[in-house]
């Protein structure tokens, strides 16, 4: 039997931090040995999160993956692996310190997702704290980079919107099947805004309301553009002009979930024909045939289908009247969009089966 791999969660009191703890409680080999959160330092996990109380009955945490009596610290102890759930900039500082100790890191912030420091500084409005690490950090989308992930020490976990949109469009972009002008209309639950309360996420403001935001440009836009452009180049289908993406996110009154509807015109062949729904579906099914968490389905997905799971459901179709491709994808923003994908990456990082600790089924209803 393999030895347990020691794990720390930096900023466990964030939504992604507690979601990591929930998922890691089912993991056969990852053992949470240290957790941090400056606002709750000195308290035990079960005092801050009573839902962890059951862990007291397995104090050796052989069944739960963690000890609920674990004291929350200000700084992480030495472990084999760290999940960093801090805001951007603060995350990079922590990542540098962890790497210097020899700890492998999955960073759930945006600090290492963009390969160009200048692009990062344009979108995040400050100087990158550790630009040298951008050369070695690996973008943590297993569906694209699993071989590179295996050899890495720092994984940049993708953003939730970026995951939904990129998975929705990768097959047709890589195949050069679309005109490089894409519209992405995405809707997210309130947990995507984080745990710190704001007026926009206040119940009385958000309930029975839908609103668009970041119309001048959301921070996940350069991430989406970076990854789709890279996929086009890797597929030998460089666009004749830069990929144009219009990305409009919306906030909707539910806790979890992202639904992304993506639109693009299909390229015509020499006879001015475009691909049919059957053609496109066959392409998607072949592209994702061996992916454990990406499912190409015959009907438009619901966000509730992915609730609590690491699954991404994708429904591609063609509007025959306009020759336009429509791809709908959905996932749980806290799981495949954050903590679940982080564990999927960590599994790969340590040479484990990607599905370890990740339930194949969603919560329903």
Q: Tell whether 357 is covered by a domain.
A: no
Question: Based on the domain organization, do 185 and 321 belong to the same domain?
Answer: yes
Question: Based on the domain organization, do 151 and 208 belong to the same domain?
Answer: no
Question: Based on the domain organization, do 178 and 310 belong to the same domain?
Answer: yes
pLDDT reported for residue 269: 80
Whether the CB-CB separation of 25 and 66 falls below 8 Å is answered with yes
Q: Tell whether 103 is covered by a domain.
A: yes
CATH code, domain carrying 32: 3.40.50.720
Whether the CB-CB separation of 338 and 353 falls below 8 Å is answered with no
Cα distance between residue 357 and residue 149, in whole Å: 18
Cβ neighbours of residue 188 closer than 8 Å, sequence gap 6 or more: 160, 161, 249, 250, 251, 252, 257, 258, 333
Cα distance between residue 166 and residue 161, in whole Å: 8
Question: Based on the domain organization, do 196 and 62 belong to the same domain?
Answer: no
The count of structural domains within the chain is 2
Question: Based on the domain organization, do 181 and 132 belong to the same domain?
Answer: no
Q: What are the catalytic residues?
A: 160
* pLDDT classification of 58: cutoffs 50, 70, 90: low
**pLDDT tens digit sequence for 79-136:** 999 999 999 999 999 999 999 999 999 999 999 999 999 999 999 999 999 999 999 9
**pLDDT tens digit sequence for 214-236:** 999 999 999 999 999 999 999 88
Question: Based on the domain organization, do 117 and 238 belong to the same domain?
Answer: no
Look up residue 69 and give its two tokens: 């009596």
Residue 44 DSSP class: B
Question: Based on the domain organization, do 211 and 241 belong to the same domain?
Answer: yes
Instruction: Give residue 256's domain range.
Output: 161-332
Whether the CB-CB separation of 289 and 361 falls below 8 Å is answered with no
Q: Tell whether 355 is covered by a domain.
A: no
Beta bridge partners of 178: 266
Question: Based on the domain organization, do 146 and 204 belong to the same domain?
Answer: no
pLDDT above 60: residue 21: yes
Q: Tell whether 359 is covered by a domain.
A: no
**Can you tell me whether residue 227 is helix, strand or coil?**
helix
Cα distance between residue 246 and residue 148, in whole Å: 29
CATH code, domain carrying 276: 3.30.360.10
Cβ neighbours of residue 280 closer than 8 Å, sequence gap 6 or more: 172, 177, 316, 317, 318, 325
CA 260 to chain centre: 14
Q: Which residue has the tokens 């993956």?
A: 65
Question: Based on the domain organization, do 62 and 143 belong to the same domain?
Answer: yes
State mean pLDDT over 143-153: 97
């Amino acid at each position: 039997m393999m030895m347990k791999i020691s794990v720390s969660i930096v900023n466990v009191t964030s939504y992604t931090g507690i979601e990591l703890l929930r998922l890691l409680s089912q993991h056969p080999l990852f053992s949470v040995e240290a957790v941090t959160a400056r606002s709750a330092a000195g308290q035990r996990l079960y005092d801050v999160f009573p839902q962890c109380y059951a862990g007291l009955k397995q104090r050796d945490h052989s069944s739960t993956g963690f000890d609920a009596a674990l004291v929350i610290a200000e700084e992480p102890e030495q472990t084999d692996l760290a999940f960093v759930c801090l805001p951007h900039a603060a995350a990079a500082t922590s990542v540098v310190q962890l790497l210097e100790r020899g700890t492998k890191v999955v960073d759930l912030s945006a600090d290492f997702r963009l390969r160009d420091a200048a692009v990062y500084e344009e979108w995040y409005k400050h100087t990158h704290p550790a630009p040298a690490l951008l050369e070695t950090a690996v973008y943590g989308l297993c569906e694209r980079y699993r071989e590179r992930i295996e050899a890495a020490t720092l994984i940049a976990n993708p953003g939730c919107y970026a995951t939904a949109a990129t998975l929705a469009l990768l097959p047709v972009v890589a195949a050069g099947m679309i005109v490089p002008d894409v519209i992405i209309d995405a809707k997210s639950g309130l947990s995507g805004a984080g745990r710190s309360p704001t007026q926009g996420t206040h119940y009385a403001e958000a309930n029975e309301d839908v609103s668009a935001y970041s119309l001048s440009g959301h921070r996940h836009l350069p991430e989406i553009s970076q990854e789709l452009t890279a996929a086009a180049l890797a597929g030998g289908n460089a666009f004749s002009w830069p990929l144009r993406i219009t990305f409009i996110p919306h906030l909707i009154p539910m806790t979890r979930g992202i639904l992304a509807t993506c639109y693009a015109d299909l390229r015509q062949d020499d006879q001015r024909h475009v691909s049919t729904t059957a053609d496109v579906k066959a392409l998607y099914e072949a592209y994702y045939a061996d992916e454990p968490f990406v499912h190409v389905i015959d009907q438009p997905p619901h966000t509730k289908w992915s609730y609590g799971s690491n699954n991404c459901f994708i429904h591609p179709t063609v509007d025959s009247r306009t020759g336009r491709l429509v791809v709908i994808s959905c996932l749980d923003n806290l799981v495949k969009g954050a903590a679940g994908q982080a564990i999927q990456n960590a599994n790969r990082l340590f040479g484990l089966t990607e599905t370890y600790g990740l339930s194949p089924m969603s919560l329903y209803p």
